[in-house]
Chain A
Amino acid sequence: MAATQTEVITTPEAQVLRAAIAIDQHPTRPSPLANTFTFAWRALLKIKHVPEQLFDVTLTPIIFTLMFTYLFGGAIAGDPETYLQYLLPGILVQTVLIITVYTGFTLNTDITKGVFDRFRSLPIWRPAPIVGALLGDTVRYTIASAITVGLGLAIGFRPDGGVVGVLLAVALLLVFAFAISWIFTILGLVMRTPNAVMGVSMLVLMPLTFASNIFVNPDTMPSGLKAWAEINPVSHLATAVRALMAGTATFDQIGWVLLASVVLTAIFAPITMHLYRTRN
């Protein structure tokens, strides 16, 4: 037993400390879902305290929508209004996908600041910190989507699919964004600094978003690029989002996106969790 240093301490401060540390009733262990929601709530708290992180989420869609509509509209489709009908669903896809890189960035920040190891030392459902963060991120995606669609409507975008079509399109996009985020969680776990994560994530995203059918019809591309643009899952996503907004979506179009989401998650989520568990 402790004999030398730990004589019983009875100062008032010690009594207060003792009372505060003691727990009368140990709570029962929460479910994996409860753990996950706690982490999602934490992500929302971070948005509350660091609203600057919403700058990108708000400004990116505004700049992209305005810039590409009026920059390319005349050249590509004859006039901006016609191009907007084609571009807006695509720009929505690009905007949300670009925001997904923050997933890896915030994860890496948590790791470098030491917050993550605290969570890893707790008796909780192991994937909860990552899944919860991804859920919290969907709030950001939703905000960006609302801004993009709102701005589009204001400058003349008229989706034939109506409110339901637009909402379904956004929902499908969120599913895909959640799935592709697992790539960035891997980068977040592997890279040494948050900025490195950012840089590499952008390198991954550039060919995915630009070499797709987001901006132009792949038929106008050279054959190699066209081949890539046609198998690129982001093209399938943009096609499905367009079709949902236009009210012409087929089960095939939606099915491809859901399949791609399942495949992405099935490959990259286990890699993420393996890296997370064995991290040094």
Chain B
Amino acid sequence: MTSAPDLAIEAHGLVKHFKETRAVDGIDLAVPTGTVYGVLGPNGAGKTTAVRMLTTLLRPDAGTAHVLGHDVLTQPDAVRSLVGLTGQYASVDEDLTGAENLIVIARLYGFSTLAAKRRALDLMEAFGIAEAANRPVKTYSGGMRRRIDLAASLVMSPRVLFLDEPTTGLDPRSRNQVWDIVRVLVADGATVLLTTQYLEEADQLADRIAVIDHGKVIAEGTATELKRSVGEGSVSLRLASSGDRGRAAEIVERVLGAEVVLAQDPYAFSARVPDDGADLAAQLLPALAEAGIAVPEFTLGQPSLDEVFLALTGQPVDEDEQTDHEEVA
């Protein structure tokens, strides 16, 4: 089996069943070296299962996968020596201190006791958690915890890094720190595959995105391509009075000939602009003004990935309440 050298990760027809469920149902991936690849999907879509197969933790039932040209099935050790992994299931020991966790991992890679210590402290210093080096990890805050997890996967400076939902549950500041780390890694030539349920994260960070739902890739491309595939763009409006929303929505539907999507915020809604509909969008504000509806916020732009997901799956990302069988398995 050959694989193009410019692909860091290459998968064909990956399948994994758990009892009745096909957690991963034939996934193809092609991740160019030196890029961030986003795997986007709701809970239970099969993201974690896919990552576990690509990192040799799980044997696929069917299909092939290569990491930097090494087959995950026949050369798992070569793959393991090139990848780093961080996720809900690949974690550090809460009873040990942060430094001890990193030292154990560094020792396992073959660093001498002294070099392992230095490596641990250097990483913790760079990640801004040096002052917590000698505290048990269970005393860490969520953001610190994620950074020590990330540091643990970087002990050997991996060429390919898998991050499974690296920012789930983090506050914006910690999330930005994780993003910065990812950007630096990739700027220095590493490849990062990250899974996320956050469209914004994929949009911000990923060069290319695969949208996964029910174990299948339902769309793939750059964020711009994905958005374009949905339509020209969209308008988002926020009204001065929530009582006007019904009337305003009717006007927008009439002018654009497209359905509106009501936001959670009772003052706001959005609508897709049909292809070649830019001039129609321009008519919206005069029409609303004529009806006496004040519109303090009006944006015309590319559709958000939320809208992309809605268009592709017929359901919004955060309303998929399916249980995450991959966590249990």
Contacts and interface: CB of A to CB of B under 8 A. Distances in A.
A215 to B, nearest CB: 36
Interface string A2-42: 11111111000110111111110011111000110010011
Contacts of A115: 91-93
A193 B136 CA distance: 23
Nearest to B138: A49
Interface in B63-88: 77, 80-81, 83, 85, 87-88
A6 B36 contact: yes
Contact of B96 (A14, A16, A49, A122): A49
Interface residues of A, number: 48
Contacts of B22: none
A5 B184 CA distance: 11
Interface string A99-114: 0000000000010011
A208 interface: no
Contacts of B85: 117-118, 121
A41 to B, nearest CB: 7
Interface in B285-313: none
A280 interface: yes
Nearest to A115: B93
A123 B185 contact: no
A6 B93 contact: no
B108 A2 contact: no
B62 interface: no
B200 interface: no
A104 B101 CA distance: 21
A124 B188 CA distance: 26
Contacts of B107: 30, 34, 38, 41
Contact of B92 (A9, A27, A38, A118): A118
Contacts of A30: 107-110
* Interface size classification for chain B: 35 or more
Contacts of A5: 36, 183, 186, 204-207
A26 to B, nearest CB: 8
A13 B83 CA distance: 24
A277 to B, nearest CB: 9
A46 interface: yes
B56 interface: yes
Nearest to A25: B115
Contact of A2 (B92, B136, B157, B207): B207
Interface string A111-146: 001110111111110001000000000000000000
Interface stretch (B120-128, B210-218, B249-257): B120-128
B263 interface: no
Nearest to B58: A280
B196 interface: no
Interface in B86-109: 87-97, 100, 104-105, 107-109
Contacts of B183: 5-6, 9, 14
B37 to A, nearest CB: 10
Given A35-B108, A121-B56, A278-B59, A113 B186 contact: no
A122 to B, nearest CB: 6
B22 to A, nearest CB: 14
A122 B111 contact: no
Contacts of A155: none
Contact of B154 (A6, A21, A26): A21
Nearest to B79: A123
A1 interface: yes
B83 A121 contact: yes
Given A17-B181, A38-B104, A6 B57 contact: no
Nearest to B191: A2
A45 interface: yes
Interface in A36-68: 38, 41-42, 45-46, 49-50
A46 B81 CA distance: 26
B181 A114 contact: no
B259 interface: no
A94 to B, nearest CB: 28
A35 B108 CA distance: 6
A17 B186 CA distance: 12
- Top 7 closest A-B pairs, CB basis? A20-B126, A114-B91, A27-B110, A123-B81, A123-B80, A30-B110, A114-B89
6 contacts: A6-B35, A16-B126, A21-B126, A34-B107, A118-B92, A122-B109
Given A2-B36, A21-B185, A115-B91, 4 more contacts: A1-B32, A5-B186, A17-B126, A121-B83
